[in-house]
C-alpha cells in the first residue's frame, strides 16, 4: 500500500511529525536573496565586478537581453520581483540608510509609495542634470541641515517649480 503525504507535512520539523525536509522553493529564494543582499551591500570584490561588467547593474535589472543572461541571474531578478515583473518582496522589505549619500541614487531609489522619484516626477527628471547621481553629489550639509542643490537643464517654469515642493 502506498501512503501519500503532502509536501507541507514532509517539510515539517521531525518534532512536529514531519521529516524535516527543507522546502526547496523557499530555501532557494532565501539563498538568492542572500546573493542579492551581498550585491547591494558589499563594497567590492572580483565576483561583484565581474557580474556588473557582464550585466551592467548590481540590482538584478540587466542591460543584457534575456537570451544572454545566465539562469542564475534570471532567477535572482525573478525571486526579487524585478525586471519585467512587478515589485517583489525583497525590495518592499529591505531599506537603506542614506548615510553620507555615497551609495543611494537620488532619482532611482524608492523613497515613497513604492516608486522612485524618476517615475513619480518624470518631467523634473527629464530636466535634471543630476540623472544617475547619488544623494551625496546633489547637495551639501550647511549648519547641520541638508541643502538640496539640484542642477537643471534650463530655468523651470513656475508650475514646474511647484512640483519640487
Consecutive 10-residue averages of pLDDT for the chain (165 residues): 85 90 87 85 81 71 70 80 61 72 81 78 88 88 86 80 61
* Residue at which a domain ends, from 35, 69, 94: 94
The domain total for the chain is 2
The per-residue pLDDT for 129 is 92
Q: Which of 23, 24, 32 is nearest to 71 (CA)?
A: 32
What is the number of alpha carbons within 13 Å of residue 137 lying toward its C-beta? 13
**Do 59 and 128 belong to one domain?**
no
**Do 1 and 80 belong to one domain?**
yes
* Residue at which a domain ends, from 69, 94, 119: 94
Q: pTM value? A: 0.54
The three grid cell numbers given for residue 134, joined into one nine-digit string: 547619488
The per-residue pLDDT for 142 is 87
* Residue at which a domain ends, from 64, 94, 124: 94
**Do 7 and 76 belong to one domain?**
yes
Amino acid at each position: 500500500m502506498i501512503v501519500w503525504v503532502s509536501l507541507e507535512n514532509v517539510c515539517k520539523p521531525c518534532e512536529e511529525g514531519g521529516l524535516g525536509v527543507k522546502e526547496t522553493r523557499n530555501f532557494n529564494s532565501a539563498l538568492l536573496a542572500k546573493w542579492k543582499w551581498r550585491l547591494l551591500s558589499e563594497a567590492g570584490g572580483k565576483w561583484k565586478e565581474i557580474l556588473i561588467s557582464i550585466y551592467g547593474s548590481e540590482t538584478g535589472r540587466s542591460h543584457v537581453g534575456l537570451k544572454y543572461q545566465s539562469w542564475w541571474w534570471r532567477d535572482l531578478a525573478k525571486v526579487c520581483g524585478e525586471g519585467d515583473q512587478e515589485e517583489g518582496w525583497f525590495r518592499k522589505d529591505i531599506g537603506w540608510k542614506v548615510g553620507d549619500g555615497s551609495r543611494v541614487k537620488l532619482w532611482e531609489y524608492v523613497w515613497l509609495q513604492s516608486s522612485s522619484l524618476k517615475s513619480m516626477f518624470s518631467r523634473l527628471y527629464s530636466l535634471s542634470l543630476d540623472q544617475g547621481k547619488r544623494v551625496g553629489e546633489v547637495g551639501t550639509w550647511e549648519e547641520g541641515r541638508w541643502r538640496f542643490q539640484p542642477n537643471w537643464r534650463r530655468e523651470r517654469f513656475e508650475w514646474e517649480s511647484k512640483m519640487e515642493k
